[in-house]
Structure 1
Amino acid sequence: MATDEQLALTRALSGDGGLGVEESTLVSIIGKWRKKPEHISSFRKSFNRLFSITGHIEKCEDDHMQKLVMEFSRFHQITVLWAMHPHERDARWANQVIHKNHPSSILVEIASTRSAEELLGARRAYQTLFHHSLEEDVAYQVKDSKSKLLVGLVSAYRYEGQKVDNDVAKSEVKALHNALKTAGANKIIENDEVVRILTTRSKPHLKAVFKYYKELHGKYLEEDLSGDALLQQTVLCLDSPASYFSQVINSAFKEGANHAETEGLSRVMVSRSDVDIEEIKEAYAKLYGAKLADVISKKTRGYFRDSLLSLAGESKA
């Protein structure tokens, strides 16, 4: 029968039940088993998901080992991201989209939820780090229908005052609706008027546009953009960043979340912890009926969990 320590070690190294690992459990057992190689051998033999008998040794399975390396790295990664200058973080995340096939939604997120000065800072950092402008790399590397929108978003320097011309906003509602009718949802991302409005107008102006669209057409704009996920994400980022970030966080917790989705948890918590984390917590509770801190405590482990809770302004669970 497995001992309590063996069960605890199995759970800590299982890779199941939450993101991250229970570092304190591992450190404690390493110390206790320091002169007990028979305990370690017994553990290897009992944990056939991680080890298989190969010849005269219990071989660590490559796939599980790679998964564990990733889980061990979560605390390291979030610490490095936290220490990094925000402009450098954004520049590196943008570069991963362009050169490492990370989701384009990350570029939309950076371009749409940062202030004009923050986005300018990220563009300057990108140029310093990678010796190209962000705009030219997006234009050169992105070859499909997303290119026009993404170049426009990363090139933007939006007016940040509160003044809104309601007549212009209503005229642009008409332009958006006409574009949807004539282009169809699958091609709307290439429409010049749609791209112009979303990439150049101030956020208060766009909020007015989205509000009038709902009033005039009985549906939210993102509902009518259901055929284009990237445009939907753009509208949500511009209109309600807290709701968008709540969705990114929740995607990391869902069953079968992929690598990009789980990485989004660290990205959001680090980048928004000193910006709008309280609004995100409120939006998360409204959308999913649970406190973000409770979900973090349940779905993550160890120092990674403690870091997330600290970034959320919560004490250790």
Structure 2
Amino acid sequence: MAVPLAAEGCEALTTAFSGLGGLGVDEKALLSALGKWRHQPEKRAQLRKSFSGFFTADGGFERCDIEFARFKDIMVLWAMHPWERDARWAHHVLQKVHPFDIIVEIACTRSSEELLGARKAYHALFHHSLEEDVAFCVKENYSNLLVGLVSAYRYEGSWINKEMAKSDAETLGSEIKGAGVSKLVENEKVIRILTTRSKPHLRVTFKYYKEMYGKSIEEDLGDELCLRETVQCLDSPPKYFSKVIDDSLKDGADKNTKDALTRVIVSRADVDTKDIKAEYHEHYGAQLEDVIAKKTLGNYRDALLSLVGQ
């Protein structure tokens, strides 16, 4: 007769795995829980049936692998050159149905030299240009916008032509009010402004837009997610990344959303972590380190906290 796993045993394992599909594994708690059954092979044999949340129907370890892999992934990505890292992220996401979020992130939050480096790395690793693969793989109506973003080499100085910024704000407002949001992502004027202007210029343009029309451009873009994320990344990367992190730490977030936590913490560790932490505290009323410590487990948690400066 099968011996059922003790309720406390299942609870201990659930906790070790951060609630069935969380963020990391509490390795010490897991070993402690399994160690209690070291002389009870019947209970250990029932593990897959009684703790089905982390095993596939055929007894495989797929979901277990995901959680154990988080620490490995963060260490491998941290050791990788940023250009190669971005190239590999871009190549991976281009195989998916909706790739624009990470492509936009890479194209709009990296410096001109960093984006050029990622494009060079992509070419060396995959024997295609990034622009070529974006144009080929992205079938949605935002393909031209993405090609323009990854092809950009923006001016990075501080000089701004305020009259041109006002003109761009008027153009954006005219196109938004006239064409309708659903067509904006294909609008040549909008694409030209967002893919060629410097980031300081665009921040001033967005400021003028709000002064002219009473709403932020982000608000007026409505449900056009690709354009909204483009504007967010160009306007304030720390604000954008703080939201991505918050979404990744929410209960019930899907795997792709949770994976963003590793991507953001690793890619921004040497860039603007301090600013992201400040934005997170301002918008969500908590210290980022405290939330990470609460929501993640084990070696993965320790690696995250090390990178955010705990």
Q: If the length of structure 2 is used for normalisation, what is the TM-score?
A: 0.91
Q: Residues 172 and 190 of structure 2 are in contact (CA less than 8 Å); yes or no, is this contact kept in structure 1?
A: yes
Q: Alpha-carbon deviation of 1:129?
A: 0.4
- After the TM superposition, which residues 23-42 of structure 1 pair with which residues of structure 2 at under 5 Å, given as runs? 23-28=27-32, 32=35, 36-38=38-40, 40-42=41-43
Q: How big is the shift at 1:8?
A: 2.9
Aligned to 1:247, which of 243, 246, 256? 243
Partner of 1:234 in structure 2? 230
Quote the offset at 1:65 in angstroms.
3.5
Contact 1:44 1:51 in 2 (8 A): no
CA offset at residue 230 of structure 1?
0.8
* Structure-1 residue corresponding to 2:255: 259
Matches within 5 A, 1:49-68: 49-50=50-51, 61-62=57-58, 65-68=61-64
Residue 137 of structure 2 corresponds to 141
Match for 1:251: what amino acid?
Answer: D
CA distance in 1, matches of 2:306, 2:50: 33
RMSD of aligned residue pairs (Cα, Å): 2.4
The CA distance in 1 between the partners of 2:308 and 2:112, in whole Å, is: 25
Could you tell me the percent identity over the aligned residues?
Answer: 53
| Pair 1:149–1:21, CA change in 2 (3 A) | same
Which shows bigger deviation, 1-10 or 139-148? 1-10
| Cross-structure match for 2:69 | 73
Q: Counterpart of 2:237 in structure 1: which amino acid? A: P
Q: Aligned residues, how many?
A: 305
- The letter of the residue matching 2:230 is T
Q: What residue number does 1:86 align with?
A: 82
Change (3 A) 1:164 1:42: same
Matched residues in 2 for 1:186 and 1:92: separation? 31
Q: Decide which of 282, 301, 305 is 2:297's aligned counterpart.
A: 301
Kept in 1, the 8 Å contact 2:48–2:59? The answer is no
Q: Establish whether residue 171 from structure 1 lines up as the match of residue 167 from structure 2.
A: yes
Residues 169, 71 of structure 1: CA spacing in aligned structure 2 closer, same or farther, 3 A cutoff?
same
Per-residue CA distance 1:118-175 (angstroms, 9 max, x = gap):
0000000000000000011111221221111000000000000000000000001110
Decide whether aligned partners of structure 1 residues 162 and 63 sit closer, same or farther in structure 2, where only a CA change above 3 A counts: farther
User: Secondary structure in 2 aligned to 1:186?
Assistant: helix
Query: 1:306: how far off?
Result: 0.7
Relative to structure 1, is the Cα distance of residues 264 and 3 closer, same or farther in structure 2, using a 3 angstrom cutoff? Answer: closer
Q: Distance in 1 between matches of 2:298 and 2:76?
A: 17
Query: d(CA) in 2 for partners of 1:228 and 1:63?
Result: 42
Distance in 2 (CA, whole Å) between partners of 1:63 and 1:190 is 47
Q: Deviations over 1:170-200 (max 9, x none)?
A: 0011100111122100110111110000000
- Answer whether contact 1:15 1:68 (CA < 8 A) is retained: no
TM-score, scaled to structure 1? 0.89
Tell me if the contact between 1:75 and 1:303 (Cα under 8 Å) persists in the aligned partners: yes
**What runs of 5+ residues in structure 2 fail to find an aligned partner?**
none
